[in-house]
């Protein structure tokens, strides 16, 4: 039963780790999207101030050009993170399935343990029949 407890704790730990990994990736994706939106806003401000919207124009703002490149890199990173998120989601589903199996094993083990007769201590006398008093101590 002790090994079942250890197995169950290990499975819970692994499932929690996988869940945390999924949350971390989701947060990173959200942060990268927010950064990309902020960069787009900055690009629009630069284009408005310079009055040049053509990226290939010689007087296009260098900051806007660099920001566009960073934004493109962010979207590539988002795509890579989304692939990792899918993989992490599959790992989480597997870990949850393993945890469910371990919990079922634990429940079955506890049920079997409850059905087993109680162990006696050394020197303990087990009455085989109910004691019968030959005399009434009240009389």
Domain-located, residue 41 = yes
Q: Whole-model pTM?
A: 0.69
User: For the chain, what is the domain count?
Assistant: 1
Query: Is 12 part of a structural domain of the chain?
Result: yes
Predicted confidence (pLDDT) per residue in 52-95, tens digit? 988 888 999 999 999 999 999 999 999 999 999 999 999 999 99
Question: pLDDT tens across 105-114, in order?
Answer: 888 876 665 6
User: Residue 24 domain-assigned?
Assistant: yes
Residue 98 lies in a domain: yes
d(CA 11, CA 106) in angstroms, rounded, equals: 12
CB burial of 81-119 (b: ≥16 within 10 Å; e: otherwise) equals: beeebeebeebbeebeeebeebeeebeeeeeeeeeeeee
* In-domain check, residue 124: no
Is 128 inside any structural domain? Answer: no
Q: What domain range includes position 109?
A: 2-115
- Would 134 be classed as within a structural domain? no
In a domain? residue 48: yes
């Amino acid at each position: 039963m002790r090994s079942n407890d250890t197995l169950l704790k290990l499975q819970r730990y692994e499932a929690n780790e996988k869940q945390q990994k999924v949350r971390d990736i989701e947060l990173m994706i959200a942060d990268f999207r927010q950064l990309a939106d902020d960069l787009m806003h900055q690009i629009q401000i630069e284009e408005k101030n310079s009055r040049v919207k053509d990226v290939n124009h010689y007087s296009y703002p260098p900051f806007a050009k660099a920001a566009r490149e960073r934004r493109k890199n962010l979207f590539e990173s988002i795509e890579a993170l989304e692939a990792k998120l899918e993989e992490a989601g599959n790992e989480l589903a597997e870990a949850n399935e393993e945890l469910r199996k371990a919990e079922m094993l634990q429940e079955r083990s506890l049920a079997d343990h409850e059905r087993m007769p109680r162990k006696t201590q050394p020197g303990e006398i087990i009455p085989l029949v109910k004691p019968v008093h030959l005399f009434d101590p009240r009389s």
